[in-house]
Amino acid sequence: MAEAVMVLGAGMVGVSVALHLRRRGLDVVLVDRQGPGEGASFGNGGLIQREAVYPHAFPRSVSELLRIARNNAVDVSYHPLALPSYASPLLRYWWHSEPTRYAEVVLAWAALIRSCLDEHLALARGTEAMALLRPVGFMRMYRDAAALDAAAAAAEVGKRDHDVNYAVLNGRELAAAEPHLLVQRAGALHWTDPLSVTDPHALTLAYFQRFLEAGGSFVNGDATTLAPTGSGWKVQTQDGPIRAPRVVVALGAWAGKVTQPLGYTPPIFGKRGYHYHYGMQGNAVLNRPIIDADAGFALMPMRAGVRLTSGAEFAATDAGPTPVQIARAEPVARKLLPLADRVEDKPWLGVRPCMPDMLPVIGPLPQHSSVWCAFGHGHQGLTLGPSTGRLVAEMMTGEKPFVDPAPYRPERF
């Protein structure tokens, strides 16, 4: 009989882990209190970001910190009363962003990012998921020519060190690529490697369907009920308790609620994000995702419409929605594109699971070798789900890992 494994969390990371384990012959049950892909994997920029070899570092310039402190930006917002709870992880985040330490983080981060396109295509090829992956990259637009030149110089370093590809478009070329833009810009940096996902939820569901077809199973349950039993673990589900000798915790921002009772308290913190979808006026279209580098928001062509995404909001995870960043961004976005009405009555809200050293937590718990971690991917859970799934499965089945897992080990905290 095949060894049983419970995977807690059915977002892109959890589904990918479950699929890779099942393909290696393990008896896998996927557990989530919601349906597959209904958490943070549902709402995001919809990009498989091969170019994202440099994780978001903590701002270190005084001018940037003062800008954020004013709390009136699109890209960053915060609830003042929530800041004390963020003090410790943000201080560690600042420490790890020191240039020498950050350079080490980049090497470990880029090792995973480098694999993201191949690993997604390995899961999607031959299925309906391929239609969701558009090889059009995305563009970051700039008002100022000097800012565009600086971005191009940084991109050239990324190309040299990490084999990422890009093109620089002047204002005329940008207008030709996106003819329905309502404004002129100095130009854009076109990252050509990333895949644009027209429906991130549907992509997670497509991989989930492959998991079911491979013989995996899914059940709604409460991961926080995880408890030892005999030689393994049990979780309460709508079908009663289920048991397995090994468990994978892929719960994103809520992973600590499960690991803390087991003696492991990772310094994970959440960055909340929002999105709305909009129609387009007349026959206007957006050909590829665009990011307004000056205003700090993204516009993504999706099945449901053009998705306007906010930046990061620092708030208590159970606080009510405060979509002020979307409210600030929408008037600017309407001057950029001929947007029509909102598709939804209220914005989507999700929480990105972030770690202070900007690296995910992957590997067995120090105190419990039968409980494995796969969380903390920050803004890149969609991008890194299949890569993480492969790495976890290789480690759990004794295969040689395709990347060195040491930088992501849980015991680093």
Residue 381 lies in a domain: yes
Residue 11 lies in a domain: yes
Q: What is the pLDDT of residue 318?
A: 84
Closest CA to 278 of 312, 323, 320, 309: 309
Q: In whole angstroms, how large is the CA radius of gyration of the chain?
A: 21
**Residue 266 to residue 363: CA distance in whole angstroms:** 13
Q: What is the pLDDT of residue 2?
A: 66
Residue 257 lies in a domain: yes
Q: What is the pLDDT along the chain (413 residues), one digit of tens a residue?
A: 568 999 999 999 999 999 999 999 999 999 999 999 998 889 888 999 999 999 999 998 999 999 999 999 999 999 999 999 999 999 999 999 999 999 999 999 999 999 999 999 999 999 999 999 999 999 999 999 999 999 999 999 999 999 999 999 999 999 999 999 999 999 999 999 999 999 999 999 999 999 999 999 999 999 999 999 988 999 999 999 999 999 999 999 999 999 999 999 999 999 999 999 999 999 999 999 999 999 899 999 999 999 999 889 999 978 999 999 999 999 999 999 999 999 999 999 999 999 999 999 999 999 899 999 999 999 999 999 999 999 999 999 999 999 999 999 999 99
Residue 391 lies in a domain: yes
- Domain range for 261 is 1-57+97-132+198-268+355-413
Sequence-distant contacts of 85-91: CB under 8 A, at least 24 apart = 85/316, 86/269, 86/314, 88/267, 89/267, 89/268, 89/269, 89/354, 89/356, 90/58, 90/269, 90/356
Q: Which residue has the tokens 């959440």?
A: 270
Residue 182 lies in a domain: no
Please count the structural domains in the chain.
1
Please name the residues in contact with 182: beta carbons below 8 A apart, sequence gap of 6 or more. 335, 336, 337, 338
Residue 167 lies in a domain: no
**Which residues on adjacent β-strands are paired with residue 221?**
237
Q: What is the pLDDT of residue 16?
A: 98
Q: Which residue has the tokens 């597959």?
A: 36
Residue 297 lies in a domain: no
Residue 14 lies in a domain: yes
Q: What is the CATH number of the domain that holds 13?
A: 3.50.50.60
